[in-house]
Chain A
Amino acid sequence: MMEIPYTVKPHPVTGVYNGKFGIWLFLASEVMLFGALFSAYVLLRVGADTWPRGSALLNVPLATLNTMLLITSSVTMVMSWASLKVNNFGKYRFYFASTIFLGLAFLVVKSFEYGAKFEHNHFPSTDTFYAIYFTLTGLHGLHVLGGILVNTYLLSTAKSMWNRDPEHMTNRIECAGLYWHFVDLVWIFLFPVLYLL
């Protein structure tokens, strides 16, 4: 009876465990997903007669706040992983919960922003600028939401997992972190492209 190897320990040649390689492959596909949407943005903008400056239509201060929230959540995420690496489960729990909280705060700010747009009768159907704005931020928001759900699940099972197999637990947080940083990375590009240019 054979077991699946390298689920926790890294492969001697590639140097990574299966999960980490898997999450990177997933992120590669995510690059292509958002890449295609950025490509759509470029093609639409190049083909348009006029295109508004985002700062004239969108709320830059709110978006700046959201940028700060996501950046902070990224650093708490990596700190939670580092805490597990030094066997400090309490600190991990604090940082990891902060990450979830900051993610939620991001979504709350985002919903206020959407609400204000709807109040002023700005919808995806208004024009191509709002169409791409709502689509890109909406899809990104779904990614944040997905991350929050998975992270909440991981936090709820963290204690028993930590007691059973701490290395496996640390790996899971590393993978969750890679995804979360990627979502942050997408926002880092979305923010100037939509709001500032």
Chain B
Amino acid sequence: MSVQHPLEHRHEAPGFWRKYLFSTDHKTIGIQYAITAMFFLLFGFALIMLIRWQLAYPGKPFPIPFLASLLGEARMVSGIMLPEFYNELGAMHGTIMIFLGVVPLAVGAFGNYVMPLQIGAPDMAFPRINMASYWAYFLGGIVMLGSFFVPGGAASSGWTSYPPLANIATQGQTFWLIGMVFLITSSLLGSINFIATIVQLRAKGLSFFRLPFFVWAQFVTAFLLLLAFPPLEAAGVLQLMDRLFGTSFFLPSGLVVGGKALEVSGGGNPLLWQHLFWFLAHPEVYVLILPAMGIVAEIIANNTRKPLWGYKPLVYSVLFLGFMSFIVWAHHMFITGMGTVMSTFFQATTMIISIPSVVILTSLIISLWGASIRYTVPMLFALAFLPMFGIGGLTGLPLGLASSDIHLHDTYYVIGHFHYVVAPGTLLALFAGVYYWFPKVTGRMMSEKLGKIHFWLSLIFINGVFLPMFFQGMAGVSRRLYDPTTYAYGKVVQPLNIVMSYSAWLLAVAQIFFLINLVYSIWKGEKASSDNPWDATTLEWATPTPPPHGNFLTPPEVYHGPYEYSVPGRKTDFLPQNQSE
């Protein structure tokens, strides 16, 4: 394992640039990902908070005149948001939250930092490619942010960029496509690295069925990114060709825009984009949720002080889930007129894929049975994940059935459904992960008191934001309406928008507690009692704190499964993986 090459004894201390900015160390890259992704999460949240004003008080001037004048006449006229700007905000909120916020945090940050430690590796298999992956992500982010300043503003055709609308949209859409190419490159490089690392670099004795569940989740996620993203890249290339070279891949013949026939050759097919887009974007949903499940599994095992209930079913479920996620994509297209053969097939596969999700959730819930649970802050977030993800998952079933989807498609019900999966679901799990691994990264604990305030406020207000969406959606309110009171049926449920908007703004206030806690604890937090303050079993806790370059002082060797808690007849209630006997 520690074969020393005579030529590689060049380990002088790296300078500032190599150490903090252009580092190849997976831990530094993980932290870079975390900081950048959290910035984008806040930014994407800010975009939607602007939208929430328009939704709660349509047509009323924005209450912060300073901000309105800062945004300029092209976006807000005398404090009233223009519909074009509204569309930009919606499209970029989705894009930023998914591709620049949640995935980079769940995979780029947690995966990069924790996964190599959990498998006992000195670093990723390809450290320089890892660095390139981060910088491609960073550039993609810059392009996306820059697109707000081009004439006509940022992309405004929704995060799905459906043609023909996206084909004829302003310059911002071209920036969106170029930004996506960077982001796709980034995840491609990252996923190659993750898979190669997990297959090649596991510590001695760490067989696949001794891997922590988090590593399994990252493994499957990496495969989804590797094989599902290229079709979106292909679609992006085709849309770029359409926009820059006048091809008609997505434009049918005889298209009339604004009363004028479009001067293109035609012969294209808008459904082609939807096929290629959802071939990525459905697996992407699992990219968003699987790492969260991994984090929650780690924290539940650690805080129930018991082995996970059904480790092997969990693993088989996550593998099956990953496989099936490639053949459910067209359930997003039931009402496109793609035909009943397609609808029947995809409705069947969609019902099948709900089974492994239920197995995973059930296993995690049964793991709590009979445990004397430690209600630490990470555990609170992990526990909250279970019902939140449950609501998100179960509300997806009516959308997966072609007939009920006809009524619900493109309403706020859909928004409520996938936000329950990603926001109260994944985001709470990611917070859990931050609180859980913080002592490994910094050697200090985050404040328990501030953490609990953050937890309870977040839990209440995040439900305040998303729960009313189901009622609005069932009342028929469309997801992309600039003014929700346009139609009479929307007026009935309009008061809910005020509840949701105040919840969203208060949710933002709740995050202040988190940010203060995060920054304060880095320097002033209570020192962690040891390298392993949670008495955990997995390998990341067997390193010094924070782990040095190369991670482990001696190559670790693994003797047990990942969750040997409360083994009968032992003095301590945990048996670390690297402890023989």
* Interface residue ranges, A against B (CB under 8 Å): 1-6, 9, 11, 14, 16, 18-19, 21-22, 25-26, 28-30, 32-37, 39-40, 43-44, 47-48, 123-128, 131-132, 134-135, 139, 164-165
Contact = CB atoms under 8 A, between A and B. Distances in A.
A19 B264 CA distance: 45
Contact of A43 (B200, B269, B555): B269
Contacts of B389: none
B551 A2 contact: yes
Contacts of B201: 4-6, 18
Contacts of B459: none
B123 interface: yes
Nearest to B188: A29
Interface stretch (B239-247, B306-314, B344-352): B239-247
Contact of A28 (B1, B227, B231, B268): B227
Contact of B195 (A16, A25, A30): A25
A42 B331 CA distance: 21
A30 to B, nearest CB: 7
A47 B226 CA distance: 29
B247 A135 contact: yes
> Closest 9 CB pairs between A and B?
A125-B246, A2-B122, A36-B231, A36-B234, A131-B247, A33-B230, A32-B230, A128-B267, A124-B245
26 contacts: A3-B3, A6-B200, A11-B199, A16-B200, A18-B200, A22-B193, A22-B196, A28-B226, A29-B188, A32-B231, A33-B234, A34-B234, A35-B231, A36-B230, A36-B234, A36-B276, A37-B237, A39-B231, A40-B235, A40-B238, A40-B249, A124-B245, A124-B246, A131-B241, A134-B241, A135-B249
Interface string B217-257: 00000000011111101110110010001111100000000
B279 interface: yes
B61 interface: no
Nearest to B195: A25
Contacts of A44: 249, 267-269, 272
Nearest to A7: B125
A52 B200 CA distance: 49
Given A37-B234, A40-B238, A123 B200 contact: no
A128 B241 CA distance: 12
A63 to B, nearest CB: 21
A9 B200 CA distance: 11
Interface string B155-188: 0000000000000000000000000000000001
Contacts of B200: 5-6, 11, 14, 16, 18, 21
Contacts of A3: 2-5, 8, 122, 550
B30 to A, nearest CB: 16
B550 A29 contact: no
Nearest to A30: B230
A123 B229 contact: no
A106 B188 CA distance: 28
A44 B550 CA distance: 51
Contact residue range for chain B? 35 or more
Contacts of A30: 230
B180 to A, nearest CB: 14
Interface in B251-287: 264-265, 267-269, 271-272, 275-276, 279
B550 A135 contact: no
Interface of B: 1-5, 7-8, 11, 121-127, 129, 188, 191-193, 195-196, 199-201, 226-231, 233-235, 237-238, 241, 245-249, 264-265, 267-269, 271-272, 275-276, 279, 549-552, 555
Given A2-B551, A25-B195, 9 more contacts: A4-B125, A5-B201, A22-B126, A28-B226, A44-B267, A47-B269, A48-B267, A125-B247, A128-B265
Instruction: Find the residue from B123, B196, B264 having the highest chain A CB count within 10 A.
Output: B196
A139 B241 CA distance: 11
Contacts of A11: 199-200
A37 to B, nearest CB: 5
Contacts of A125: 245-248, 264-265
Nearest to B120: A2
Contacts of A43: 269, 271-272, 275
Instruction: Find the residue from B7, B228, B231, B275 having the highest chain A CB count within 10 A.
Output: B231
Contact of B234 (A28, A40, A123): A40
Given A22-B126, A29-B188, A48-B267, A124 B247 contact: yes
A29 B226 contact: yes
Given A29-B227, A30-B230, A135-B237, A2 B550 contact: yes
B7 A164 contact: yes
Nearest to A132: B249
Contacts of B247: 124-125, 128, 131, 134-135
Contacts of A4: 121-125, 127, 201
A16 B125 CA distance: 13
Instruction: Find the residue from B124, B241, B549 having the highest chain A CB count within 10 A.
Output: B241
Given A3-B5, A3-B8, A127 B265 contact: yes
Contacts of B124: 4
A52 to B, nearest CB: 12
A18 B123 contact: no
A14 B122 CA distance: 19
B279 A36 contact: yes
Nearest to B124: A4
B199 A14 contact: yes
Contacts of A131: 241, 247-249, 265
